């Protein structure tokens, strides 16, 4: 078993495995996220179609379910990103990977996953719309959950992909702050490392909209402006993750 030697930010990491692939993290992020994502999207689709069928059977009010279940892939990718930093920081640096490279590979890997998830999200919105139309049901707003747009499909896929990427990079930022400064500061920083995802969600018009868009007066925002806001939020999270992790020491693992 390879030992991890603690290193200070200014010291070179000890390369304990010369066979370690330079792009191993990039590949690992994609492989693991997509592999687990198969099960995730299966559950999302089953719930999206199963819940309205059950509600209709018992005479309840039917509304868009994917406007709620669509949150699942975003928070899944957020959690995956936190794990990458929390569990992978020490081993990757010990194998000679720089902190900057770790953030860069993580973002690149999650960008690929987000593009795939964006297409999957588009597919689920189309399937939900077809499922309702075949049964003569209306996709209506229930309990503040608005139907997810299905057109124009390229922008629907793009907006979902961008928003999922924002969640992923937010996860990297959250975990980086926790790794460097531990619990209290990590928790106090959550309004900055997580909160802006709400702004990105409200700014993108082709995802499940909420009343926040109206509160922030973003309903009539030009599409390019909304996309720019979401990308700016992603860039902010990336900067936080990079600058924070750059000064983080690699601490020895302890076990009981």
The answer as to whether 69 is a domain residue is yes
* Any domain includes 79: yes
Residue 95 inside a domain? The answer is: yes
**33 lies in a domain?**
yes
Half-sphere exposure of 127 (CA within 13 A, CB side): 17
Residues paired with residue 142 on neighbouring β-strands, in sequence order: 145
Q: What local confidence, expressed as pLDDT, does residue 77 receive?
A: 96
- The whole-model pTM stands at 0.85
145 has which bridge partners? 142
The answer as to whether 19 is a domain residue is no
Q: Tell me, what's the pLDDT at 15?
A: 44
Task: Check residue 143 and give its pLDDT.
Answer: 59
Asked whether residue 23 carries a pLDDT value surpassing 90, the answer given is no
Range of the domain at 118: 24-246
Number of domains in the chain: 1
Residue 252 within a domain: no
Is residue 144 pLDDT above 90, yes or no? no
Distances in Å between the Cα of 186 and the Cα atoms of 144, 168, 179 are 31, 17, 8
Q: What is the pLDDT of residues 171-190, one digit of tens each?
A: 999 999 998 888 888 899 89
Q: What is the CA radius of gyration of the chain?
A: 20
Q: How many CA atoms lie within 13 A of 131 on its CB side?
A: 22
Domain annotation covers residue 141:
yes
13 inside domain:
no
What integer pLDDT is reported at residue 93 of this predicted model? 79
Question: How much of the chain exceeds pLDDT 90, in percent?
Answer: 44
* Distance, CA of 64 to CA of 232 (rounded, Å): 29
Residues in the chain: 256
pLDDT of residue 5: 41
How many Cα atoms sit within 13 Å of 123 on the Cβ side?
10
Q: What is the average pLDDT value for the chain, to the nearest integer?
A: 83
CB 234 within 8 A of CB 166: yes
Sequence-distant (≥ 6) Cβ neighbours of residue 110 within 8 angstroms: 29, 33, 77, 80, 81, 165, 168, 169, 172
According to the per-residue pLDDT averaged within each range, which of 3-7, 65-69, 104-108, 144-148 is highest? 104-108
């Amino acid at each position: 078993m390879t030992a991890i030697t603690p290193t200070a930010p200014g010291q070179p990491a000890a390369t304990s495995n010369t066979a370690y692939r330079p792009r191993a993290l990039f590949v690992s992020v994609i492989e693991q996220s997509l592999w687990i994502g198969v099960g995730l999207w299966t559950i999302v689709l089953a719930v999206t179609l199963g819940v309205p069928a059950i509600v209709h059977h018992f005479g309840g009010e039917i509304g868009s379910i994917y406007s709620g279940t669509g949150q699942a892939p975003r928070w899944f990718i957020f959690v995956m990103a936190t794990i990458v930093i929390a569990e992978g920081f020490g081993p990757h640096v010990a194998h000679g990977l720089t902190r900057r490279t770790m953030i860069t590979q993580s973002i690149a890997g999650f960008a690929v996953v987000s593009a795939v998830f964006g297409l999957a999200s588009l597919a689920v919105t189309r399937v939900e719309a077809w499922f309702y139309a075949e049964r003569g049901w209306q996709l209506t707003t229930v309990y503040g959950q608005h139907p997810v747009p299905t057109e124009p499909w390229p922008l629907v896929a793009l907006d979902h992909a961008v928003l999922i990427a924002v969640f992923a990079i937010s996860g990297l930022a959250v975990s980086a702050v926790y790794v460097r400064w531990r619990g209290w500061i990590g928790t106090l920083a959550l309004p900055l490392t997580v909160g802006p995802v709400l702004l990105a969600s409200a700014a993108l018009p082709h995802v499940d909209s909420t009343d926040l868009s109206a509160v922030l007066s973003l309903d009539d925002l030009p599409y390019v402006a909304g996309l720019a806001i979401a990308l700016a939020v992603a860039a902010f999270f990336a900067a936080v993750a990079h600058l924070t992790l750059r000064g983080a020491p690699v601490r020895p693992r302890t076990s009981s």
